[in-house]
Amino acid sequence: MARFGRAPHYAATGPAPPPAPTPPAQQHYCPGEMRLPVNLRRNSLSLTLPPAPPAPAQQPYRPSEMRLPINLSRNPLSLTLPPPLPRVPPAPRQFHSFHIINPPRRSPSDHLPNPLFPTSPQRGRPGAREITSLSSVEAGKRAAAYAAVDAHFGNAPGHVGIGSGSTVFHVVDRIRQLSAERISNTGFVPTGHQSRELLRNAGLRVVQLEDVPGRINVAFDGADEVDGRLNCVKGGGGCLLLEKLVAIRSEVFVVVADRAKQSRALLTSYRRGIPIEVIPSATPYVLSELRSLGSTDPRVRDGAPAKLGPCITDNGNFIVDAPFPPLATSGAVVELAESLKGIVGVVEHGIFWRGDRRPERAFFGGVEGDWEGVEVRPE
Ligand SMILES: O=C(CO)[C@H](O)[C@H](O)COP(=O)(O)O
């Protein structure tokens, strides 16, 4: 049923029309049909429809087509309303953007000492490098790392996992700024040689994974690519096995990365392929199995320029990088992760997913020094 608004007004030029017959005094317009005493065959017309009566309350709106029952010399006037806007489905409940902060920090502290090469004698070895200036990407990574530590470090955790990569540097940097009470009784569990050196140079107590009796309270790590469900590709630095071992032992697993690592589907932006740790003697067999799974050009990672020959992991194995088409669905992630694990000779692969360990939270740094946190709730 229509709701009438302002009455239309029609006008045309030409000789003056004969006076229109006066409508009967009690003529009502009713919802069914309204006849107006107007002759359109004459060349001139001036017509003003009477004001509409107030619409009845609760008048339903029917979206498809609405015909106004006005008969203008059998020329029906029809008005088609657009269909209603489609309903936007609610966002899946388990994904939750929990925080965005601005503005970027711009201060003299943008120049930070690097704990790997400290300038302060109290913090470790005498500095081999000078102060490092932060690029905008690094500023975002630092903001995200600081936020992750502030949100998850806790009061005095027993054990904290520290992953590998350039972003973890900012995690350790934030931890060093915490009070002595909060860190003196904490053991830091590295995921490889690089993070062990980082921790030692920062003056933090290193505990090897095999010496941790129970759970690790929280683990911080970087990632090479993170999808909308927080499935990750990791292992760009070749440390995926220990990273996964630390992650699965942790009560909370937090990933920190720059926003360029966020993608809708794994292997969309990280085109190098899934890093896979492989027993060296199994390599030819694993490569042929990967090809039959659909990997376009799996390769043993080269150690150059630091080393001639293959890259050797902290566990004495090779890394194979296996490119696959983007993993557009959860099903594709599950299928590939399980297939890779089923190849004899594969020690571990770099897909961190629901079946082993994906992070509960990820902190992404932006180029403006801002950050965004995303969390995934249990399905
Ligand atoms: O998985 C990793 C190493 O095996 C790293 O966490 C990953 O490569 C990210 O590194 P970065 O923070 O330098 O980008």
Joined tokens for residue 116: 């790997």
Cα 184 to the center of its chain, rounded Å: 35
Q: How far is the CA of 187 from the centre of ligand 1 (A)?
A: 22
List the chain pLDDT tens, one digit each, 379 residues: 333 333 333 333 344 445 554 544 444 444 444 444 444 444 444 445 556 556 555 544 444 444 444 454 555 444 455 566 555 554 443 444 564 443 444 443 433 443 333 333 222 222 223 334 678 999 999 999 999 999 999 999 999 999 999 999 999 999 999 999 999 999 999 999 999 999 999 999 999 999 999 999 999 999 999 999 999 999 999 999 999 999 999 999 999 999 999 999 999 999 999 999 999 999 999 999 999 999 999 999 999 998 999 999 999 999 999 999 999 999 999 999 999 999 999 999 999 999 999 999 999 999 988 999 999 877 6
Identify the domain containing residue 131 by its residue range: 95-269+352-376
**Does residue 54 lie in a domain region?**
no
The residue whose two tokens read 């199995």 is 289
Is this prediction's pTM over 0.90?
Answer: no
Domain-embedded: residue 39: no
d(CA 346, CA 240): 12
Maximal C-alpha separation, the chain: 107
CB 293 within 8 A of CB 339: yes
Domain annotation covers residue 14: no
Could you tell me if residue 111 is inside a domain? yes
Residue 129 lies in a domain: yes
197 is catalytic: no
Residue pair 372/140 in contact by the 8 Å Cβ criterion: no
What spacing in Å lies between the alpha carbon of 108 and ligand 1's midpoint?
27
237 assigned to some structural domain: yes
Tally the domains of the chain. 1
Q: Calculate how far, in angstroms, residue 84's C-alpha sits from the geometric centre of ligand 1.
A: 47
Whether the predicted interface score ipTM is above 0.95:
yes
3-state secondary structure of 256: strand
Position 123: which residue type? R
**Residue 200 sits in a domain of what CATH number?**
3.40.50.1360
Task: Determine which helix (DSSP H) or strand (DSSP E) holds 318, and give its type and residue range.
Answer: strand 318-322
Q: How far apart are CA 183 and CA 207, in angstroms?
A: 13
**Please, what is the Cα angle at 311 between 305 and 315, to 5 degrees?**
145
243, 289, 348, 372: the active-site residue:
243
CA distance 208 to 190: 7
Tokens (6 digits) for 175: 């931890």
Query: CA 83, 89, 92: angle at the middle one, nearest 5?
Result: 175
Examine residue 194 and state whether it is found in any structural domain, yes or no: yes
Residue 86 lies in a domain: no
Q: Kindly list the protein residues whose Cβ atom lies closer than 6 A to any atom of ligand 1.
A: 163-167, 221-224, 234-240, 243
